A and B are shown apart, each in its own frame.
Chain A
Amino acid sequence: MTALTRPAPPFSRRRWQLAPGLVFTSLVLVLMGGGLLALILRADSGPSELWQSPYLQGVIRFTAWQASLSVIGSLLIAIPIARALVRQPDLPGRAGLLRLMEMSLVMPTIVAVSGLVAVYGRRGWLAEVTEWAGGSLPWNLYGISGILLAHIFFNAPLAARVMVQTLERVPVSQRRAASQLGLGSWQLWRVLDWPALRPVMPGLAALVFSLCFTSFAIVVTLGGGPGATTIEVAIYQALRFEFDFNRAALLAFVQLLICGGLWWLVFRKNRHQAVLPDQSSSTDTGSLRADSAGWRRTTDRALIGLFALFLALPVLAIALRGVPWLARELTNPRLALWDATFRSLAIALPAGLLAVAITLALLAATSALKPGLPRSLASVSGYLPLIVPPIVLGTGLFLLIQPRLGIQGYGLTVVALINSLMALPFTLQVLRGPFQAMGTPALRVADQLDIRGWYRWRWLQWPRLKRPLALALGYGITLSLGDFGVIALFGSPAQPTLPMLLHQQLGSYQVAAATGTACWLLIFIAALFTLLSRPGRVASRSAMRDTGVTHTGVPHA
């Protein structure tokens, strides 16, 4: 044959695509299985405690109860907000609000809690206003009301964001037809909105349910006593204070069963599309809805304004109270904040990088495998951390590493590793689409030209993945920076990370210091995202310049 003796591209063998992903898949599965097994083996009594202990039953009931209420509350708020946002595409500040709604993905729960306390707590803004008016707050933030408030604060915007995205994907032709027919609000709901939303609702409800079901930081700070404890918190208490492995194993099992069963139902019905917002934005601005004008315009704006206020107030409270404290204290080199910052970074940077690496490996393996069990395992293993309690992963890891090595800073290594696994569902969501964006035609051209292995990555994947990679890295680092669940289990209170420090400050009523720490963490995360989104901006600017040249410079040949 002619001139086809060129050596194969580097790393073009199939095993290079498969091996890393399969290794990580097995790692996740082994950690899970090993962790569960270890917990069971350490347990000295059987599962009978589950139906004998009123405490455990109370915990499980409360966990399910608050999660269900949170789902209902979040979705009931999200639907009208999403519809109002779709009805008012020209609203000033709409894009900013949509960004603010995505913030709940990256805002550390403990920071949000401190913001909510600063607004709705006993000494918060609202209390000041009511006292000034001569009344007193009609609620207590600690307990179910605070938990629900925080869960809705996190999940209503997330749900609404996904719904806006779903509604904007309704084909323009359908929307224009509805517009010409002059359909009213109720008819639009029946004809356009609900049919579009229905397929994402089960996945969305399952996502919000499992996020609230496995909620830790919110419950541990806002929940009080045995009456308001979730499974994750109970596991934490069982291990940290009571050394009751049996109870921890039982609770972990129950959580896995309930959340796993829920997701199994959702996946079985194949209704799992797009339950996290992606980076797409609507291009349609034209099709007017008959229900978007007149008095509705006013009510929509009021509704959106209230919602924006609900989201912005805690952030504002943190900023207004935190900045002065920071300005005063930051010059103090012996501030606990500095140590905590370095410790947080030492965990979060490796965790973020590892999360992105694992995500790429999983995606590469998934796309190289034919449908079958290994591929299902590879694609599911990245989502398992949504439902697997970190304690299970941590115990598995403990078993894998501990007996053989005496690693310095073992706790922090474990935390970084588990954090990277916990970030996988989010990094996967960011990278999956762009990674799989090469369609059949492009793949065929690439195959024919022998652009495989390293060359395919270098020339075809990397240029298009740069921006999503930076974003995924941002998510990975941020989730780890804000982590409180894993560090609470494996960290030492004497060596706190930023969220731990914040929790300690909240717990000892150092409100000023707490808001300062929260503010510092927020500034940090904002700076991180600004930094990581820069290569993308540079790239798009140069793309614009290129377009300019074609239009002005070179004559059409």
Chain B
Amino acid sequence: MLEIDDLLFRYPGQAPDTPGWHFNVGIREGECVALTGPSGCGKSTLLNLVAGFLAPAGGDMRWQGQNLGPLPPWQRPVTTVFQEQNLFDHLTVAENVGLGLHPGLRLSKTQWSRIEAALETVNLGGLHNQRAGNLSGGQRQRVAVVRALLRPQPVLLLDEPMTGLDDENRTILQDLLLQARDQGKTLALVSHDIRDRQALADREVSDFFQPW
């Protein structure tokens, strides 16, 4: 279970009289929860707090009882898929995925062929030696999701992962993410598109925040 208890946050440099955020939410293992709410309510902020990109002012985050607060981003059990810029443009597709398995690309032959096979499943077979910068937006998002799924981290933080994609790419990604959930990954989804939420989410939560 991913538990967010009274997590407080304020942006550095934020005017002191404007309210910060106060988050409370729980996500069970193997569940896909969509966070909904008006823009500015802190959906992406919460995902960034869980990932460790932002530091909370107070409160707790726990995964399976373990406190995430003191862990740096690289030791947290999460993988984020952003709306864009998930890939390093100067590296090849396979290298971009491989960096998710080992940060220095020290990979065995088996691992490389696993990467190629995974790329096949999202119709990107044969593109593994392409530079990521040469791919279309939809192709890039598919690569990012493939990387997230190949990593051992059990929690996926999806921050508008399908925004701006066409229907074809959207369907491929939805199928992939549903498979991931069925294999036991835990998903937190932020998407302003109701079709994504309907296709993916087991439940929607809109009361996860209040002003602080």
Contacts and interface: CB of A to CB of B under 8 A. Distances in A.
Interface of A: 1-4, 6, 9-10, 439, 441-442, 444-445, 447-452, 454-455, 458-460, 463-464, 543, 546-547, 549-550, 554, 556-557
Given A4-B153, A444-B48, 6 more contacts: A2-B77, A4-B77, A442-B88, A448-B74, A448-B78, A449-B74
B82 interface: yes
B59 interface: no
B66 interface: yes
A460 B75 CA distance: 20
Nearest to B84: A441
A549 B130 contact: yes
Contacts of B85: 439, 441-442, 445
Contact of B91 (A439, A444, A455, A459): A459
B104 interface: yes
Interface stretch (B95-103, B109-117, B174-182): B95-103
Interface in B24-82: 48, 51-53, 63, 66, 72-80, 82
A449 B136 contact: no
The 9 closest A-B pairs by CB, nearest first: A450-B74, A557-B123, A3-B152, A441-B85, A455-B104, A450-B103, A447-B73, A451-B103, A550-B134
A433 to B, nearest CB: 16
Bin the interface of chain B by size.
35 or more
Nearest to B76: A448
Nearest to A549: B130
Nearest to B126: A554
What's the dominant secondary structure at chain A's contact region? helix
A546 B135 CA distance: 11
Contact of A543 (B53, B88, B131, B136): B131
A458 B102 CA distance: 13
B105 interface: yes
Among A439, A441, A448, A454, the one with the most B-chain Cβ atoms within 10 Å of its Cβ is A448
Contacts of B79: 448
B139 interface: yes
B176 to A, nearest CB: 13
A546 to B, nearest CB: 5
A542 to B, nearest CB: 9
B203 interface: no
Interface in B157-205: none
Q: Which of B63, B100, B104 has most A Cβ within 10 Å? A: B104
Interface of B: 48, 51-53, 63, 66, 72-80, 82, 84-86, 88, 90-91, 95, 99-100, 102-105, 122-124, 126-127, 130-131, 134-136, 139, 152-154
B152 A546 contact: no
Contacts of B154: 2
A15 to B, nearest CB: 16
A460 B96 CA distance: 11
A448 B51 contact: yes
Contacts of B91: 459, 463
A459 B103 CA distance: 9
A342 B39 CA distance: 66
12 contacts: A1-B75, A2-B153, A4-B77, A4-B152, A6-B102, A10-B104, A444-B82, A448-B52, A463-B90, A464-B90, A554-B127, A557-B123
Contact of B77 (A1, A441, A557): A1
- Which of B99, B105, B127 neighbours the largest number of chain A CB atoms within 10 Å of its CB? B99
A458 B85 CA distance: 20
Contact of B134 (A445, A447, A449, A547): A547
Contact of B95 (A2, A459, A543): A459
Nearest to B168: A557
A310 to B, nearest CB: 41
B105 A459 contact: yes
Contacts of B127: 554
Contacts of B99: 449, 451, 459
A550 B154 CA distance: 34
B1 to A, nearest CB: 14
Contacts of A549: 130, 134
A469 to B, nearest CB: 14
